[in-house]
Amino acid sequence: MATLPPAIREQCRRADIGEKSLLLQVVRQPDESAMQQLLDEITSKGLNRDGARAARRTQQGKINSPKRDTETQSYRFTHHPAHFDWKVEITFKRQRVEIPEIISALQSTIKALQKQSAFERLPEEEPAT
């Protein structure tokens, strides 16, 4: 990872790509332009490690095996705001997902959390003696 060019490293940081397995796929590219191309593909398609491996192999002219076909990979949406210590991540079972589907999944998750919290109570504080 130390061999990542500073511009590529900064783009990985901004795209919240911190998983070592994904970073390794970028580092394994032969030159900076290939790293940039793979990074663009990872961020635009939300590729996971296997998807990035398949994309890297495709860039290198290798034929993908059927089980590593990028069409069978999942799509991952990640939101990690700067200056916060939390991250939201949703993984879909298919590779292509539209923005309204992500919004719907987030809204569904919020409703489920609200239902769950309506039935949970905080422990009562014991009176000070």
Per-residue pLDDT tens digits for 71-111: 457 888 888 888 888 888 888 988 888 889 999 999 999 99
Would you kindly state where each structural domain of the chain is located, as residue ranges? 1-73, 74-119
pLDDT at 69 over 70: no
Q: Is 65 exposed, middle or buried (0-12, 13-18, 19+ CB in 10 A)?
A: exposed
Q: Over the stretch 23-64, which tens digit does the pLDDT of each residue have?
A: 888 888 888 888 888 888 888 888 888 888 888 877 766 533
Structural contact between residues 7 and 38, judged by C-beta atoms closer than 8 angstroms: no
pLDDT for 55: 82
